[in-house]
């Protein structure tokens, strides 16, 4: 097991005073068997009168707050402490055939299958096009176990697409990412979701953090980490398996889960509306610190 402390600081600076704002955040870690009872705190400045905490329809922790105090700077400082336990990856060849999982999603209505159904269909950032299906079916051949196919597709995305933080924004359609073969972790997670859903399967978008290691001989740079995104594929009786197309790996003991949804819109770390403000800048600092490291 590995223990982490995480700091995620977001700062908005405005050219003109903001007179009112309402915000929704996904800045608390999920309580999972592999990351049980995490401790998450959120400090907002200026301090709102109250913060309302709820659980959304996907089981994520959500915080709501509003500010009526005039301000030109808003800071959200989230801190986490969590212990990660090893994630058991099923033997890929022993997972159900992918076509059998598709059939299960169409015909069975047990709790496991019902919980997977929202992740079969298109969503705001994940819309089907023929190119996604054509690309995915090279991996999803007849009589192939689902995890073997999904791992092969993950590897192909990793080797075909170039990580380029200057190439896209959150509003860049994944059709454009498919055309340019460039993007970032959010793009690759949306892309893999679209490809897997195009085969009639369930795939959810996962938001969280990943612990990064400095090059040999180099010190860790405080605040140099970032939020991360990957996917989780429904494998029938084998359960959900996390796959990271940006790093060509399965979800492991360096992946820390904030939440999951159909796409980024369901688990945006911070979003809201404001009155006033004019031009603004946003600064985000993330530090994922292994304890004792």
Please report the pLDDT score of residue 128 as a whole number.
79
- C-alpha distances out from residue 213 to 186, 219, 224, 289, Å: 21, 9, 11, 10
What does the pLDDT look like over 109-162, one tens digit per residue? 999 999 999 999 999 999 878 899 999 999 999 999 999 999 999 999 999 999
Lowest mean pLDDT among 57-61, 90-94, 197-201, 225-229: 225-229
The average pLDDT across 57-61 equals: 96
**Mind giving me the DSSP string for 141-185?**
-TT-BHHHHHHHHHHHHHHHSEE-TTS--TTS-HHHHHHHTEE-H
Closest to 257 in 3D by CA, of 211, 207, 193, 188 = 207
What does the pLDDT look like over 202-234, one tens digit per residue? 999 999 999 877 666 665 544 457 799 999 999
- C-alpha distances out from residue 11 to 42, 63, 280, Å: 13, 17, 10
- Asked if residues 183 and 172 have their Cβ atoms less than 8 Å apart, the reply is yes
The average pLDDT across 35-64 equals: 95
Please report the pLDDT score of residue 192 as a whole number.
97
3-state secondary structure of 58: coil
Helix or strand (DSSP H, E) at 100? helix 98-107
- Asked if residues 26 and 259 have their Cβ atoms less than 8 Å apart, the reply is yes
What does the pLDDT look like over 7-30, one tens digit per residue? 999 999 999 999 999 999 999 999
Q: Residue 60: pLDDT band by 50, 70, 90 thresholds?
A: very high
For the full predicted model, state whether its pTM sits above 0.85.
yes
Q: What angle do CA 187, 190, 191 make, to 5 degrees?
A: 80
- Asked if residues 251 and 244 have their Cβ atoms less than 8 Å apart, the reply is yes
């Amino acid at each position: 097991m590995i223990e982490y402390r995480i700091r995620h600081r977001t700062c908005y600076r405005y050219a003109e005073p903001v007179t009112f704002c309402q915000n929704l955040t996904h800045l608390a870690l999920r309580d999972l068997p592999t990351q049980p009872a995490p401790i998450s705190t959120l400090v907002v400045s200026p301090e709102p009168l109250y913060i309302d905490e709820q659980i959304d329809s996907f089981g994520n922790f959500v915080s709501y707050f509003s500010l009526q105090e005039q301000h030109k700077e808003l800071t959200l400082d989230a801190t986490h402490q969590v212990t990660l336990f090893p994630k058991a990856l099923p033997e890929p060849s022993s997972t159900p055939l992918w076509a059998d999982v598709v059939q299960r999603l169409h015909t069975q209505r047990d709790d496991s299958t019902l919980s997977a159904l929202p992740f079969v269909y298109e969503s705001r950032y994940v819309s089907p096009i023929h190119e996604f299906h054509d690309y995915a079916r090279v991996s999803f051949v007849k009589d192939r176990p689902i995890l073997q196919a999904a791992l092969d597709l993950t590897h192909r995305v990793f080797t075909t697409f170039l990580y380029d933080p200057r190439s896209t924004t959150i509003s860049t359609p994944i059709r454009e990412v498919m055309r340019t073969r460039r993007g970032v972790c959010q793009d690759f997670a949306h892309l893999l979701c679209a490809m897997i859903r195009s085969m009639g399967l369930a795939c959810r978008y996962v938001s969280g953090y990943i612990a990064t290691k400095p090059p040999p001989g180099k010190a860790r740079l405080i605040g140099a980490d970032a939020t991360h995104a990957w996917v989780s594929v429904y494998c029938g009786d084998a359960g959900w398996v996390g796959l990271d197309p940006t790093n060509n790996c399965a979800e492991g003991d360096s992946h820390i889960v904030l939440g999951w949804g159909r796409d980024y819109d369901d688990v945006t770390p911070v979003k809201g509306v404001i009155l006033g403000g004019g031009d603004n800048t946003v600064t985000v600092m993330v530090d994922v610190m292994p304890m004792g490291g």
